[in-house]
């Protein structure tokens, strides 16, 4: 694949400040995401994980600070450039956010139709390929989101997020609300797909299993900034009460961390 930019960092967040009224969520947050890695972002409830994700994908305007993707400051893009830039990322929202009035197949075709003019036949073929890539059976294509189980909805949403062959995939709690078997399968799917497609993944999660099995590096949000960004082994050694609680708890032991 052609890389217009050969630097190692694909997302660069600098001195990010987010205030909502008097309430400060981020105060001078810095983060680098390397090309091709799977970065897991963890943090307590209300630590600002989702706000960070929304800020990076441009749904939330930061109070100050910059977000650069592929070396380009997102705030400086013109509307047309921003539209083009959005083709480079896929986002999987927590509940999938599939359009309820469209079938799964049509949901996958929405971004394709929006950005390209392709023949119906090719669109169908692409939609079917994405559906089977996401591990869904093909008869799911003409089902409506309301007819799917939670796990299937996540997979369908992943198929839509991958529709435009993104370079970066943002996942918001991909395994929340799934049973352990479904969650493990979804973890496997993310790992396998993103590695074979060469996608950079920014993953917000609470799931310790996901951290262990999927992520290359783990970023810990706390005290309004990044406490540490490192491979899981090193993060666990980091001396901070929240991190020690997080990785020292009974659930962490159950996930095979010690």
Partner 1 sequence: MADIVYHTKFICVEEGTPSSLVRFMGAWTIENAQDIDDAMAATVAAIDKGAVLDCTALTGLDTTGAVMIRRFAAEIDKAGAAVLTGVSADYKELMELISSCPAPAATEPEHLPWFLAPIIHTGEAFMRANTSIARLLGFLGLVLSRFFGTLLSPGRIRLVPMVHQMEVAGLNAMGIVGLITFLIGAVMVNQGAIQLQKFGAELFVVDLLGITLLREMAPLLTAIIVAGRSGSAFTAQIGSMKLNEEVDAMRTLGMNPIDVLVLPRLMALMICLPLLTFYADIVGIAGGVLMAWAQLDISPANFIVYFRDVVSYDHYLAGLIKAPFFAMIIASCGCYQGLRVAGSADDLGMRTTKSVVQAIFLVIVLDAVFAIFFTSVGL
Q: Would you count residue 2 as binding partner 1 (CB under 8 A)?
A: yes
Q: Would you count residue 130 as binding partner 1 (CB under 8 A)?
A: yes
Question: Closer CB to partner 1, residue 20 or residue 99?
Answer: 99
The pairing of strands 72-73 and 225-230 is unpaired
Residue from 28, 116, 149, 188 binding partner 1 (CB under 8 A): 116
In the complex, the smallest distance separating the C-beta of residue 130 from partner 1, rounded to whole angstroms, is 7
Residue from 97, 184, 197, 252 binding partner 1 (CB under 8 A): 197
Residue from 1, 22, 241, 250 binding partner 1 (CB under 8 A): 1
Residue from 138, 188, 234, 237 binding partner 1 (CB under 8 A): 138
Q: Is the dihedral of CA 181, 147, 135, 41 positive or negative?
A: negative
Site string for partner 1, 72-111 (x = CB under 8 A): ----------------------------xx-xxxx-xx--
Cross-strand partners of 98: none
**Which segments of the chain does DSSP mark as H helices, in order?**
49-56, 79-86, 104-115, 120-133, 150-161, 180-197, 208-214, 232-237, 241-248, 250-254
Closest CA to 163 of 107, 98, 226, 217: 107
Cross-strand partners of 14: 66
Residue from 139, 181, 250, 258 binding partner 1 (CB under 8 A): 139
- Does residue 42 contact residue 220 with C-beta atoms inside 8 Å? yes
Question: Closer CB to partner 1, residue 45 or residue 100?
Answer: 100
The pairing of strands 225-230 and 89-92 is unpaired
Question: Closer CB to partner 1, residue 32 or residue 216?
Answer: 216
Question: Closer CB to partner 1, residue 130 or residue 154?
Answer: 130
Name the segment binding partner 1 (CB under 8 A); options: 114-122, 169-177, 214-222, 242-250: 114-122
Residue owning tokens 């960070």: 52
Residue from 14, 34, 128, 240 binding partner 1 (CB under 8 A): 128
Give dist(CA 148, CA 59) in Å, integer: 27
Q: Is the dihedral of CA 120, 146, 203, 75 positive or negative?
A: positive
Tell me which residues touch partner 1 (CB under 8 A): 1-2, 100-101, 103-106, 108-109, 112, 116-119, 122-133, 138-139, 141-142, 144-146, 162, 164-165, 193, 195-197
């Amino acid at each position: 694949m052609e890389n217009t930019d050969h630097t190692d960092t694909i997302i660069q967040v600098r001195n990010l400040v987010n205030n909502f009224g008097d309430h400060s969520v981020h105060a001078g947050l810095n983060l680098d995401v390397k090309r091709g890695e799977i970065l897991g972002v963890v943090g307590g409830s209300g630590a600002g994980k989702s706000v960070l994700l929304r800020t990076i994908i441009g749904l939330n305007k930061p109070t100050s600070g910059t977000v650069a993707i592929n070396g380009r400051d997102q705030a400086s893009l013109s509307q047309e450039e921003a539209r083009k830039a959005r083709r480079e990322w896929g986002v999987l929202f927590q509940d999938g956010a599939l359009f309820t009035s469209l079938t799964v197949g049509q949901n996958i075709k929405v971004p394709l139709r929006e950005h390209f003019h392709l023949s119906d036949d090719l669109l169908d073929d692409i939609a079917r390929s994405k559906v089977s890539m996401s591990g869904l059976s093909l008869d799911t294509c003409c089902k409506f989101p309301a007819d799917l189980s939670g796990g299937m909805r996540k997979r369908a949403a992943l198929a839509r997020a991958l529709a435009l062959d993104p370079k970066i995939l943002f996942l918001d709690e991909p395994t929340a609300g799934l049973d352990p078997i479904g969650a493990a399968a979804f973890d496997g799917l993310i790992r396998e797909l993103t590695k074979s497609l060469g996608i950079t993944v920014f993953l917000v999660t609470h799931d310790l299993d996901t951290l262990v099995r999927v992520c290359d590096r783990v970023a810990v949000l706390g005290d309004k900034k990044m406490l540490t960004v490192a491979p899981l082994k090193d993060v666990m050694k980091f001396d901070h009460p929240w991190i020690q609680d997080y990785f020292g708890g009974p659930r962490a032991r159950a996930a095979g961390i010690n």
